[in-house]
Amino acid sequence: MSLALVSSLACDGWIADPPLADDGGTTDTRRDEDDTEPPPPIDVGGPDDCSTPEAYFTSRLWPQVLEARCIRCHRSGGEAEEDAFALRTELEDDDFLATNFATVQRLAQEKLPSHDDRALLELKPTGTVMHGGGTAISSGGLLHRLILGFIQRVDGEPCDPDVEPPVDVPFFDGVTYASPARVLRKASLALAGRLPTTAEQDAVSAGGFEAVGTQLDAMMSEEGFVERVQEGFSDVLLTEGYTASTGELLAYENFPDRNWLYDEAYPYPVVSRDPSNIYRVGHDYNNALRREPRELVAYIVRGDRPITELLTANYAMVSPYTARGYGVFAELQDSFTDTNDPYEYIPTRLPPRRNRHGDVQESADGRYPHAGVLTTPQWLSRFQTTTTNRNRARTRTFYRQFFGVDLLALSQAVTDAADVTARFANPTMEAPDCVGCHRIMDPIAGLFQRYAAAGEFIVTPEEPWHTDMFPPGFESDEELPAEESWRSLQWLAERASGDPRFASTMAEHAFYILTQSPRIEPPIDEDDPLYARRLRASAARRDVINDAARELIANDFNIKAAFRSLVLSQLYRAEAYVGPEPDAGRSVELEAIGLWTLLTPEQLMRKFNAIFGFTMGSLDPFPYLTSSLASPTPENHYRLYGGIDRLEVTLRAATPNAAMGAVMRDVANQLSCELVPVALREGPGARVHELFPFVDENTTDEFAIRQNIASLHALILGRSASELEVSRLWRLFQEVRADGVAQIAAGSQRDRLNYACGSHPDPEYVGRAWQALFVYFVRHPEFLLQ
C-alpha cells in the first residue's frame, strides 16, 4: 500500500465521537477479575455502512491506536518484537500498511477460549492477559473500542451504520500558500540570516518553486547557514550547559594537562605568561572547549558530510587551546594555521585514555574510539550519571536527541508504581509495567558503563557491570559482543544511525531549526472527543517530517536535503485559510498549519543586520539580546527575550510575555533612534538597504511620504502594502506629526530630536514621525514572528 493511498484513505473517513464511558475517569490501580469483562457492544461504525477491515485499519486502527500507542515497543528491534507482533514503519517499508494489516489481522483472529473466545488483540494491551508492556490502554476506553471495532469487522459481524458524518476534507483543504518569492525570503532569513539578493529574487520570479530549491541549495553553502544549524543543534544537544569551567571539564584522571594555562612548566604556553593575559586565555579556553560539539556540527555541514556523524564520527574537533588540554598539542601543532587561535578547529583522533597509574584504555586500533558527540567530555559532563542511575539518564537523553522518544513518557500507563515496586524483587527486569521501558533502556545504558559520573573514562573498572539489569546491547535486538566492548559506543552509533528513528528525528530537528516549532507529540488523552482530530493534525506534521527523512536518507544523510524538503512542504508554505468556517475539530487541525513562532534573540539580531545593515557589535546597547555564547551565567540577560542557557532553561519561550514586550519596545525605540535620524540626513546609499529613498528630514509632501511608507513596508515586513495599509500609516504619520508640532508650539516638546537620538533640529516633527513609523514596523508581528 503506497503512502499516497494512506493519505487518501486517511481522509476517507474519521472516527465518530465514541459513546460515553460510565466510569468516573479514575480507577483504582489494582485490577480484580470483574474488570476483565468485555465492554458492552458499541457503535464502531465508519464513514460508510461497515467499512472493510482494511479501510477501518487504515483510517482508524493504524493511526489512532497502533501508530499512536503500540509501535513504540512493537517495532522491528523493539523490546516486544519477539512476540511476533512487530509493526513496520513507513520509513522501513513502502508497503508497511499492508504488512501491518496482515500481522494485526492474525492477532484479531487468534481467540482465547479461556477468555470467552476474545481476541488476543484486545486481551494483551488491556492487560487482561500477560502483556510485556503491562496495561497499555484502558479497558473500555476509546482505544479499546477501536480495537473491538476492528475485530468485529475481521469477524464479519454486523455493525451500526448510524454514525456521525465523517471528515471528508483533505487536510490542507482551504489553505492558501505563500508565493515563491515570499517563501524564498522567509527561508533565506531563517536559514542564511540574510535577505535574498536581487539575482535570487529574479531567478525565483522566473522559475517558481523549483527555483526556490535551487537558490536554497546555494544559500546552504554559506557560513550563515552553518551558523544557524550550529545554533539549532546547540539547542537540541544542550551540551554547552555543562557546569564545569575551563579545563575542569576534562577529568584530571585522563587529562593531566587540562589546566595547562596555569602550569608554569607547561612547554607550549599561549602568547605570553603575563598574568594579566591569563583571564583572557582562560575565557577563550573555556569557550573553545564548550564549542567543540558545535564545531562537529559545522564540520559536518560545511563538508556535506552525513549527519549520522553526530554519532559515528571517529574523530573529535579540537583547537590549539583544547589540544593542549587533551595533551595532543605537540603532535598536532603543525596542523594548525595559528597555534594561538583558540577557535581554529581541526578533526583529529585522540589517543586512548590513560589513568594516573599509567594504565591505557584498551583499543584495537591504538586510538580512542570516538562516537560523535556521545564520547565527548561535553556531552558526558552535561548529562551525568550516578552510581544507582547507571547511565539511564544518559540513555534517556540519547533516545530523546537521536530517536525522538521520551522514555519517561512511555511509562504513563503505569497505575500503581509503588505497589509494583514493592511486589517484585527486581522490578526493572520482572514487573511488566517496568520492563517495557527498561528492556530498551538498560542495554544501552550498559554501553556507557566505562564513563563515570561526569564523563571520566574508567580505564580499569574495579567491579564488573551490574547483572541485575538487562545486559549491554542495542535495545533487545542484540547483546554487545565481547570483542566489541572496547568500542561499545561506536557499536551503538553504527546501529542507531541506521535506525529509521534516527533519520526522522534529524528531520524533526531540521524542522525545529527552520521554524523554531518544537516537536509535537501525538495526543495521549483518548477520552478527549477531539482525540482523532488532534491525531490527524500531528500526523500531518509527521508526514512532512517523514518526507524530509526520506530525502535525508536518499541523499546520504546530507542534512541540507531535509531542509530543502521542509522549505518546499505544504506546511512551511501555508499562509492562510480560506475554507468554510471551521468547527472545533477543524480548528484543532488548523492548529498544525501555520508555523509562526517568535524569532529567537539570535535570529532577531541577524534580521536587524540583514535588513538594516547593523553589525552585531553595534547592538551592545541591548544586552538582553546578546547571547554570550556558552556562558550560562547570571549576566546573560538574553534570557529575558525567551533565550535559553542550555542548563536551567532549555526550552525557548514560545509565547511572548510582558517582559519580552518591554524588550521589543526598548529595542524598537533604540533602533529608531540610531537609524532613522542618520538615514534621513545622509540620504540614499548611506545604509546597506535604503530606508528613505523618497524623503529626507524636511519632506512633508504626501505623495513622497506615501511612497516611502510603501517602500519601508516592503523592506521590513517583506510584502507590498495595500492601499488601505499605506493610508493607515500615512494617517499615523500625520497624527504623530500634528501632535508633535502642537506640543512644540505649546513648549511641551523641544524642536529637536531627543538627546539620545542625536538632538538634531526637527522643528516640523518630521524626524520623530518617521521614528514612530519605524517603531511600528519593528514591533509589527510580521517582523517579530517567523
d(CA 245, CA 283): 9
Q: For residues 376 and 517, which CB has a smaller minimum distance to another protein in the complex?
A: 517
User: What is the per-residue burial (b if ≥16 Cβ within 10 Å, else e) of 754-768?
Assistant: beebbeeebebbbbb
Least distance between another protein and beta carbon 349 (Å): 34
Q: For residues 118 and 536, which CB has a smaller minimum distance to another protein in the complex?
A: 536
| 226: Cα within 13 Å, side-chain hemisphere | 15
Least distance between another protein and beta carbon 102 (Å): 31
Q: For residues 115 and 728, which CB has a smaller minimum distance to another protein in the complex?
A: 728
Give the count of beta carbons closer than 10 Å to the beta carbon of residue 727.
Answer: 13
Least distance between another protein and beta carbon 139 (Å): 14
Least distance between another protein and beta carbon 673 (Å): 4
Least distance between another protein and beta carbon 469 (Å): 13
User: What is the per-residue burial (b if ≥16 Cβ within 10 Å, else e) of 667-692?
Assistant: bbbbbbbbbbbebbeeeeeebeebbb
Q: For residues 172 and 486, which CB has a smaller minimum distance to another protein in the complex?
A: 172
Least distance between another protein and beta carbon 579 (Å): 9
Q: For residues 169 and 364, which CB has a smaller minimum distance to another protein in the complex?
A: 169
Q: Are 477 and 495 in contact, with CB atoms under 8 Å apart?
A: yes
d(CA 632, CA 639): 10
Give the count of beta carbons closer than 10 Å to the beta carbon of residue 317.
Answer: 21
Least distance between another protein and beta carbon 767 (Å): 11
Q: For residues 548 and 729, which CB has a smaller minimum distance to another protein in the complex?
A: 729
Q: For residues 110 and 735, which CB has a smaller minimum distance to another protein in the complex?
A: 735
Q: For residues 51 and 636, which CB has a smaller minimum distance to another protein in the complex?
A: 636
Radius of gyration of the chain (CA): 30
Q: For residues 252 and 596, which CB has a smaller minimum distance to another protein in the complex?
A: 596
Q: For residues 120 and 736, which CB has a smaller minimum distance to another protein in the complex?
A: 736
Q: For residues 443 and 642, which CB has a smaller minimum distance to another protein in the complex?
A: 642
Q: For residues 135 and 490, which CB has a smaller minimum distance to another protein in the complex?
A: 135
Q: For residues 433 and 551, which CB has a smaller minimum distance to another protein in the complex?
A: 433
Least distance between another protein and beta carbon 675 (Å): 11
Q: Are 74 and 142 in contact, with CB atoms under 8 Å apart?
A: no
DSSP 293-353: HHHHHHHHHHTT--TTHHHH-SSEEE-HHHHHHHT-HHHHGGG-S-TT-TT--EEEPPPPP
Least distance between another protein and beta carbon 5 (Å): 28
Q: Between the CA of residue 265 and those of 259, 268, 342, what are the distances in Å?
A: 11, 9, 20
Least distance between another protein and beta carbon 697 (Å): 17
Q: For residues 351 and 427, which CB has a smaller minimum distance to another protein in the complex?
A: 427
Least distance between another protein and beta carbon 78 (Å): 19
Span between the terminal Cα atoms of the chain, in Å: 37
Pairing mode, strands 473-474 and 118-119: unpaired
d(CA 707, CA 713): 10
d(CA 737, CA 36): 77
Q: For residues 100 and 385, which CB has a smaller minimum distance to another protein in the complex?
A: 385
Least distance between another protein and beta carbon 383 (Å): 14
Least distance between another protein and beta carbon 209 (Å): 21
Q: Are 557 and 306 in contact, with CB atoms under 8 Å apart?
A: yes
DSSP 681-693: HH-TTSSSS-S-S
Helix pair angle (275-302, 223-237), 10° resolution: 100
Say which amino acid occupies 344.
E
Q: Which residue has the cell 587540562?
A: 258
Give the count of beta carbons closer than 10 Å to the beta carbon of residue 76.
Answer: 15
User: What is the per-residue burial (b if ≥16 Cβ within 10 Å, else e) of 582-593?
Assistant: eeebbebbbebb
d(CA 705, CA 733): 9
DSSP 448-471: TTTB-TTS-B-SS-SSPPPSSSPP
Give 225's contacts (C-beta < 8 A, 6+ positions apart): 191, 192, 219, 301
Widest pairwise Cα distance in the chain:
97
Least distance between another protein and beta carbon 656 (Å): 4
d(CA 672, CA 3): 51
Burial class (CB in 10 A: 0-12, 13-18, 19+), 421: middle
